Amino acid sequence: MKLLVGLGNPGAKYAGNRHNIGFMALDQIATDHGFSPWKSKFQGHMCDGTLGTEKVVLLKPQTFMNNSGQSVGEALRFFKLTPADVVVFHDELDLAPGKCRVKHGGGHAGHNGLRSIHAHIGADYGRVRLGVGHPGHKDAVAGYVLRDFPKADQTWLDDLLRGLSDGAADLARGDSGRFMNAVALRVAPGRSASGSNTGKTNQQSRAGAEQGRAKPATEDAPAPSAADNRTPMQKLLDKFK
């Protein structure tokens, strides 16, 4: 069994915040993969289902971000899981918007949700780091992550969430490579494959256009004159006519 945790803050006030992208990821997975309805348990909202052949519990702590570890620790003990069975989806300031990285273990890098989880279950758990960008100055971070994603971000956000859901079964069975491929296919569809084809098409189009504009060489060249069979004397006489 795997425990997938999404980090965020509870309530409609925070639903669209950058800090709540972890909640958004789990909502997308639950909807796309037919999980059970959400219910209140472990100081959070949880549901369960299967991803591929793996039984999975989804958990959205409702303790507010800074106390997320309370909920995660309670669920971990109830299901008798180890920290290695846990994967946490969270916002990441150090990644550009729309970027995604998978990591196992390591520090919390100042993220208060991860800091709380570290305190309750240790650091040996997986993370899916979801880039939201950085406001540019550390003093602006709190206000930045507690603001909603702007409308201009909705396209890449939707693609990222769908990619996370596409690859969720791979993530649950521990294949982070295939998981990242699934995300990439949504976020940058066909960029590596069709991108090169597009380049060829553009080159061919340009070549075709140039060819269409160009006239045959014989069309611009002066027509060859007829053969002059006059004798030198006739040519001389013709000049005085």
| Per annotation, catalytic residue among 19, 90, 111, 118 | 19
Closest CA to 81 of 114, 54, 107: 54
Distance in angstroms (rounded) separating the CA atoms of residues 63 and 98: 26
Write the CA distances from 46 to 28, 125, 176, integer angstroms.
Answer: 14, 19, 23
Closest CA to 163 of 195, 189, 199: 189
Distance in angstroms (rounded) separating the CA atoms of residues 174 and 184: 17
Residue 19 annotated in active site: yes
Residue 53, phi then psi, degrees to nearest 5: -105, 5
Residue 21 structure tokens: 């992208």
* Element of type H or E holding 89: strand 86-92
Distance in angstroms (rounded) separating the CA atoms of residues 139 and 215: 65
Write the CA distances from 21 to 55, 109, 219, integer angstroms.
Answer: 23, 17, 65
Residue 158 structure tokens: 């939707």
Distance in angstroms (rounded) separating the CA atoms of residues 64 and 27: 17
Active-site residue list = 19
